[in-house]
Amino acid sequence: MKRNWIVTNNVTRLNTCYQELVLRDPGMAGMGLVHGFTGSGKTTAMTWLRNKYNACYVRANATWTASAMTRALAQELGILPQHGAAKNFEAIRERLTQTGRSLILDEADYLLKDLKMVEIVRDLHDETSVPILLVGMSGHDGAGIERQITSRPKFKQLARRIPHWVEFGPISLDDARLLAATNCEVVVEDDLLEWALRLCHGSIGLLTVALSRIEGAAKSQGLTRIGLEDWGDRALHLGDRGGVV
């Protein structure tokens, strides 16, 4: 199976959000929040955005502190990191102002654990005016990044600076058709594609795995196209979010 990039509906909305941040009027807030479930394609989309627009991309992790964050940002911007968040901040602010490069902070959920990191991001926004995208996990129990930012008073100043919100939801059947047509070396019939999409709960990551297995099954049977009848009742195990219906 091939691994060609496709522009899904989620990616189209992300690109629209980015363009609106870049083209916003002076003085308008310039941050965006991208959130979605694991496997929805957020990180892959951010890699595409980074390459397309030469954005500065950094992925947060559980060990980050304010100093670690500023060191990572400095390195991504080609700056020799210094000792101390304050010195790094000044160099980052100057470089972003000079280059106008947008800033993408993936796994931004980790930033919310330390208010100082949140304030550094807010200061970079205010003092450079470059677009900043925060990327994190959705949640329906109050733990998702979108709910934390909007419901907790300590993040009120951050929320005011985020006029654009993009949720990476389950991919559509049209997205699934495009993925299969672009990457599969056999034709996957709609009935099998719809079944696999339901099994994957709309996760493009899981669907990619499913299509790879479906393609392998078709080739092993000498088929150039495969439908639900050809697949039969065999298992298709896809991990925690998938299974066999």
pLDDT digits (tens, 9 = 90+) for 157-178: 999 999 999 999 999 999 999 9
CA 171 to CA 107: how far, in whole Å?
Answer: 21
Q: Which of 31, 42, 12 is nearest to 164 (CA)?
A: 31
Edge-to-edge strand order for the sheet containing 132-137? 56-59, 103-106, 132-137, 31-36, 164-168
CA distances from 236 to 103, 106, 172, 186 (A): 39, 31, 20, 18
> Average pLDDT of the chain?
93
Residue 11 above 90 pLDDT?
yes
Q: What integer pLDDT is reported at residue 56 of this predicted model?
A: 97
Residue 245 above 80 pLDDT?
no
**DSSP one-letter code for 189:** P
211 neighbors 196 (Cβ within 8 angstroms): yes
If you count DSSP H runs as helices and E runs as strands, how many of each does the chain have, helices first?
11, 7
**DSSP one-letter code for 57:** E
- pLDDT-based confidence at residue 139 (cuts at 50, 70, 90): confident
Segment 111-122 shows an average pLDDT of 96
127 neighbors 15 (Cβ within 8 angstroms): no
What is the DSSP pairing of strand 164-168 with strand 187-188? Answer: unpaired
Q: What integer pLDDT is reported at residue 25 of this predicted model?
A: 95
Q: What integer pLDDT is reported at residue 141 of this predicted model?
A: 60
Q: Which of 208, 198, 111, 205 is nearest to 162 (CA)?
A: 111
CA 238 to CA 16: how far, in whole Å?
Answer: 32
Show the beta-strand stretches assigned E in 54-125.
56-59, 103-106
pTM: 0.91
Q: What integer pLDDT is reported at residue 124 of this predicted model?
A: 97
Residue 108 above 80 pLDDT?
yes
134 neighbors 34 (Cβ within 8 angstroms): yes
Q: What integer pLDDT is reported at residue 243 of this predicted model?
A: 46
Q: What integer pLDDT is reported at residue 122 of this predicted model?
A: 97
Query: What would the pLDDT profile of 31-86 be if each residue is shown by its tens digit?
Result: 999 999 999 999 999 999 999 999 999 999 999 999 999 999 999 999 999 988 99
Residue 214: which H helix or E strand, with range? Answer: helix 204-220
Cβ atoms < 10 Å from Cβ of 99:
14
CA 222 to CA 21: how far, in whole Å?
Answer: 50
**How many whole angstroms from its chain centre is CA 108?**
11
